[in-house]
Structure 1
Amino acid sequence: MAMRVSFDFLVSGFKIGCSVSRDSLSFSTLEALPSQESLPSGQSVLVSIVCAFLSYVFFKQWRASRFNGVPYSVPIPEQVDPDWKGEAMMHPSIKSNTDYLIQCYAPATGASLGKVTPAYPEDIDAAIRSSAVAQVQWAKTSFDERRKFLRTLLKYILDNQDPIAAVACLDSGKTKVDAAFGEILVTAEKIKWVLNHGEKALLPEKRENSWPLQCYKKVELRYEPLGVVAACVSWNYPFHNLLGPIISSTFAGNGIIVKGSEQTAWSSQYYISIVKGALVACGHSPDLVHSIMCWPEVAPHLTSHPGIGHITFIGSRPVAHHVAASASKVLTPLCIELGGKDAAIILDDTANLPSVASILMRGVFQSCGQNCVGIERIIATPKVYPTLVSILESRINKLRIGSILDDVTGVDCGAVISDAHFSRLEALVEQAVSLGARCLAGGKKYNHPKYPKGHYFTPTLLVDVTPSMAIAQHEVFGPICLLMRASDVGDAISIANSTEYALGGSVFGRNQKDLDRVAREMHCGMVSINDFAVYYLNQSLPFGGVKGSGYGRFAGAEGLRSVCNLKAVARDRFPRIASTAIPPVVDYPLKDGERAWRFTKGLVEVGYGETVMRRVKGVGKLMGL
């Protein structure tokens, strides 16, 4: 249906009419105003610019609204009901003693969330087949159609933040604020970036050709769908880790199978229904995307499946070795992200330490430290070290521990996903203390008086940590803040680079030369200067690390293109005038081998001669002189 919107504004003593129709933006002078309403010439120019800019913004937003999301709904798990409490399991575990099912429970309370049937090899085969069928039609969709799907998905997310966050909290133990930052905010940002910039990243890219030998050719690089891709993702962000690869892969024209962790199998059922619901609402097959859960012994059937064109893996290094070995059987390309031991370097000239400490606290304790780009080490130079210790000790000792059910009264740290690593964490802390570190807060498992079956570890502050201590080398993935002392900038960089991990990092200070040096010399895939992990919120940047933190990148243009077939295409610039023809002298069968050799030598010299004379001689050889 046609639509036209009009409004008026004042510019230089005239009332200007602005009219927006479906495909156009127009202005008209409606009437001159009395002289007293006129603006001085300088101001009128400024007002004109501002009004033109606002009109342009309004027009772009209005045009985008033509592809607004389609309203839809999906069933919300009954456990989200505020009155649902659940019954705590005697021994909370995802493995059942009576059957093969995945036993889901809330790590904050130990309450059962139900059971999920794991996939068998034949289930994986069926999911890939149905996705491949749906992908054939999906690959033919326009970018506008794919944007409509993403806007529909975004609309649902914005309208249903409460149940999305609640489900993530119940299944992973995090707090609502942690879910808002790590699940919803970053997912909305990813969708927004793809909506605004995804098409540009995937349009054919012109490349330079070789002059003069190929001056009659046009060459370009095309980004085409791979077919069906897969993602094996971790449990720490059940919503975002599931949707992230789906957003990129589907916009690139692929179908996708996402294998989530058994630890968060319950939430994945709801989250995949959100995606499938958006596809159906937009008139597409829900079979394009699938979420599967399986036990480790079945996973190789997916990672070595010939029907998969690419695998994104997010997880631990030991498991990555198995995934890479499995994928190598069919030479499936991989993008691997293995977490890190990220360092935040605090230099002596850092301003406003209390404010920086707030950033560090979020970096350390976001999702109870279960964060691949979380700050695992704080490295401070001598002048700021004691002040930072004092600030952090005071704040960490005040952190409140609890469940999503207590969020109404305020909870800072939720539960961790499992108690399986509590003894390891306690041993790491004890070993560090035995070697000279000081534990100023926490360091042990926490027995919650209200939730005795919940998995809680006390927020911990460990200071005077040195690189030789095991806790400074191994990824903790828990609510433990490590503070390390460095003698100067160079020493801080050396400490930051002393582990096998190299995912991200941060540096705080004011001296631009020092900041640039740290950013340049820190071994990692990403660096935030005077901030924490902002490189991930900014989805225009590729995400990933080096060394023991993996390889490949997702997010940004590079991430979109990584799930594409990069097809090089060369064609004639003027096909009716100039095209490739084989000269008789080098046509098979060769008539004169020596003459053919002189001709090809001349061809090389004409194309690549370093001097004019060399090229002239090359022409002579081409002519048989």
Structure 2
Amino acid sequence: MSLLQLLLGLLSTVADFAKSWSVVGSTLMIATAVALAYVWQPSLPEESYDFIYKYKFPAESQPKWSQKDPPVGVPPRPSVYNPNRPDLIHCYCPATGQYLCRVSASTKADIDTAVAKCQKAQEVWKATSFKQRKAVLKVFLEFLKKNQEEVVRIACRDSGKTMVDAALGEIMVTLEKLAWTMKYGERAMRPSSRSGPANLLIRYKAAEVVYEPLGVVLALVSWNYPLHNVLNPIVSSIFTGNGIIVKCSESVVWSSRYFVEMVQTCFTICGHSPDLVQLVCPWPNDADYLTSHPDISHTTFIGSKPVAHKVLAAAASSLMPVTVELGGKDAAVILDEHLGSWSNCDAIASVLMRGSFQSAGQNCIGIERIICEPKAYDSLSKVLAKRVPALRLGSSLDDDQNVDVGAMINDSRFEVLERMIADAVKNGAQLSCGGQRYRHPNHPVGSYFQPTLLVDVTPEMEIARNELFAPVMVLMKAENVDDAIRIANSTKFGLGGAVFGKRGSAATEKVVREMKTGNIAVNDFATFYVCQLPFGGVSDSGYGKFGGEEGLRGLCLAKSVCRDRFPGISTSIPPVVDYPLNSVKTAWEFVRAMNAAAYATSAKEFVMSLVQLVGNLK
């Protein structure tokens, strides 16, 4: 046998051996995956299975639901308020204009009752373990996973958004919130060990911070994400041992009732009081009573600046701390360096379109300004001018054709939007498409606004300075990186932002450092929110943080605890400074020498001060 034959035979044997081990390895991997899936399958209370698999969803959320004749007294045009029946809130589907139901507006007495029930339940809940709290979250997570489509339909029917937009903006972020809290929340809530004193003479003291529930907290949430905006504060509040009052918007009270009832069912299934979570929806004239309630310990407010002023004024009367999130005018800065060649920029155009048109642009961290360097601007303008006009409006629950963009919550701001767009065009902007309200042929009462693309927008224009909260894409040209940063920082808002450039480049990192915003995503859109980072803005976008570890701890009393570090070593008062003082002069010299020794910056200073200290002990 030749050497070549020997080598070929050896290689063949090795190959056969590798193949056999590949099969064995693959089999082991599959078996391991199956075993892990079995092990990781969450153990749920028996009572949860009917809830997860047999929950009865409302008829109104079903596809192609047809409205019956509305009750007597319903306003002829969609309106939550009827002056003839101020005790009722009227609920409509924004996409079709169909009447859903009427709900009693919460009164001051209703608020008192809700707070009292929540207080009573929280007294018991605060003593529960993290394992018990996770069990409640686990039931809801499994319910949400198994019933994504049905839950999404409820959110879509009440907000007008599309199924895909709701799956991303409602379901995914809520599942992430639940999963993250279950996996990492306990770690964030552990007592925090601190370094203790720098004073050399009292280093025998150990220091830590423990986090205790505040009691009953309040969340005033906006309508743009009816599921997530309700669930997000609920998850944080109950995990930290608090009870919570949720004040939803009148525009989405129909869906909010179902979402809160689902959470309350999880508590009942796990053997706890459902009263820990309460939903209220008063009219604005009674909202001050809620936000100044003496039995509420903390408020999280999501909304507009004018309403925030009223919330803060009311909260001040009871010294209630408030976390405020007020929306934004988020900029996406596109650097020429992001792509080596801008001949094909469809991928980044897709990200920008999702950032601008998701939920019909009604997204507090949506992209409201696209600021491009010259090469990026020229290429993106051409691509977006082709893609934006192709977007289709409608109701994904009711229309047979594909729908890209849903309805807005109502038509109350259409006139303002049309005026700002016309003003921008008058001052030099180019209207590529859209720009006005849209009368849908299938849903003439629906609240639709045309997907709009405006180019050549400048920072001085009103449309570049004020939050739109609408399906309007604005392109602005920057001369260079510094100019792009200047434009990005030219508004009074500072909630979120994005920069698209080379990973780790000087230009990219310069934008990250210098953009005045509370959150920023690099080469992406709004992922800082999904990452469960602390969320909040600066300037007119509010202050304080919710989300992440800081969000959990923000709903707690941070109690400082000081203990003796070693057994048998504790504080004792030297006779020289014990009351009554025998000699003020000696006591003073002792304390002066003690401070000098404790904070000495050299060995010589320490020794000299220590000698003086000992010399004045008597």
For normalisation by structure 1, the TM-score amounts to 0.90
Counterpart Cα distance in 2 of 1:558 and 1:123: 32
When the two structures are aligned, how many residues end up with a matched partner? Answer: 585
- Matched residue, 1:242: 230
Partner of 2:5: none
Question: 1:63 deviation in Å?
Answer: 6.0
1:535 aligns with 2:558: no
* Pair 1:587 & 2:568 matched: no
1:37 CA drift (Å): 12
2:473 aligned with 1:481: yes
Q: Aligned equivalents of 2:238 and 2:32: distance in 1?
A: 33
Instruction: Quickly say closer, same or farther: Cα 1:487–1:316, change in 2 above 3 A.
Output: same
Q: Indicate the residue corresponding to 1:3 in structure 2.
A: none
Q: Are 1:256 and 2:244 matched, yes or no?
A: yes
The answer to which of 50-59 and 213-222 deviates more is 50-59
- Say whether 1:181 aligns with 2:168: yes
The aligned counterpart of 2:296 is 308
Q: Which amino acid aligns with 2:131?
A: D
Alignment of 1:78 with 2:59, yes or no, is yes
Q: Is the 8 A contact 2:288 2:314 kept in 1?
A: yes
Question: Kindly tell me: are residues 588 and 170 of structure 1, through their superposed partners in 2, closer, same or farther at Cα, counting changes over 3 Å?
Answer: same
Cα displacement string for residues 112-142 of structure 1 (whole angstroms, at most 9, x for unaligned residues):
0110111111111111111111111111111
Q: What SS does structure 1 have at the residue aligned with 2:537?
A: coil
Instruction: Tell me how far 1:36 sits from its aligned partner.
Output: 9.4
Distance 1:542 1:56, change over 3 A: farther
- 2:276 alignment counterpart: 288
Higher helix share: 2
Q: CA deviation at 1:51?
A: 7.6
Selected match of 1:615 from 601, 606, 611? 606
Q: Tell me how far apart the structure 1 counterparts of residues 103 and 200 of structure 2 sit (CA, whole Å).
A: 64
Task: Find the counterpart in structure 2 of residue 596 from structure 1.
Answer: 587
Letter in 1 for 2:395: S
Comparing 404-413 with 239-248, greater Cα deviation is found at 404-413
8 Å contact kept, 1:175–1:407: no
Cα root mean square deviation, aligned:
2.4
Is 1:221 paired with 2:209? Answer: yes
C-alpha deviations, 1:586-623, integer Å up to 9, x for none?
Answer: 11121111111111111111210111121112212222
| One-letter code aligned to 2:403 | V
Matched residue of 1:349: which SS?
helix
Provide the rounded CA distance (Å) in 2 between the counterparts of 1:173 and 1:563: 32
**1:428-577 correspondence runs (5 A):** 428-510=420-502, 512-539=505-532, 541-575=533-567, 577=568
Quote how far apart the aligned CAs of 1:75 are. 3.9
Residue 311 of structure 1 aligns to a residue whose secondary structure is strand
Mapping for residues 64-213 of structure 1, pairs under 5 Å: 65-66=42-43, 70-73=48-51, 74-82=55-63, 84-86=65-67, 90-100=76-86, 101-210=88-197, 211-213=199-201
The answer to whether the 8 Å contact 1:438/1:463 transfers is: yes
- Deviation of 1:509 after TM superposition, in Å, equals 1.9
- 8 Å CA contact 1:68, 1:151 repeated in 2: no
Amino acid corresponding to residue 520 of structure 2 in structure 1: V
> 1:601–1:621: 8 Å Cα contact kept in structure 2?
no
Task: Map 1:271-420 onto structure 2 (within 5 A).
Answer: 271-351=259-339, 352-420=344-412
Seq. identity, %: 48
Report deviation, 1:67.
5.8
The equivalent residue for 1:265 is 253
Which residue identity lines up with residue 85 of structure 2 in the other structure?
A: D
Q: Is the 8 A contact 1:344 1:378 kept in 2?
A: yes
In the alignment, the residues of structure 1 paired with residue 38 and residue 267 of structure 2 have an alpha-carbon distance, to the nearest angstrom, of 23
Structure 2 length-normalised TM: 0.91
Contact preservation (8 Å) 2:396, 2:402: no
Stretches of structure 1 lacking an aligned partner (at least 5 in a row): 1-34
- Higher deviation after alignment, 57-66 or 258-267: 57-66
Give, in whole Å, the separation in 2 of the partners of 1:355 and 1:306. 52
Q: Deviations over 1:436-478 (max 9, x none)?
A: 0010100001111111111111000011000000000000000
Asked whether the 8 Å contact 1:338–1:548 carries over to 2, the reply is yes
**In the TM superposition, what is the alpha-carbon distance from 1:302 to its structure 2 partner?**
1.2
Is the partner of 1:313 in helix, strand or coil? strand
The separation in 1 between residues aligned to 2:302 and 2:168, in whole angstroms, is 19
Q: CA deviation at 1:53?
A: 13
Q: Structure 1, residues 153-208: CA drift from partner, whole Å, max 9, x if none?
A: 10111121122111111111101011101111100001010011000000111111
CA deviations over 1:508-563 (Å, ceiling 9, x no partner): 12261111111111010111111100111111x11111111111111110111100
User: Is the 8 Å Cα contact of residues 331 and 488 (structure 2) preserved in structure 1?
Assistant: yes
* Structure 1 residue 81, shift from structure 2 partner: 3.0
Unaligned runs of 5+ in 2: 1-12
Is the 2:245–2:277 contact (alpha carbons within 8 Å) kept by the matching residues of 1? yes
The amino acid across from 1:326 in the alignment is A
Distance 2:311 2:500 in 1: 37
**Contact 2:488 2:515 (8 Å CA) reproduced:** yes
Please give the alpha-carbon distance, in whole angstroms, between the structure 1 residues aligned to 2:165 and 2:172. Answer: 10
Alpha-carbon separation, structure 2, partners of 1:113 and 1:66: 37
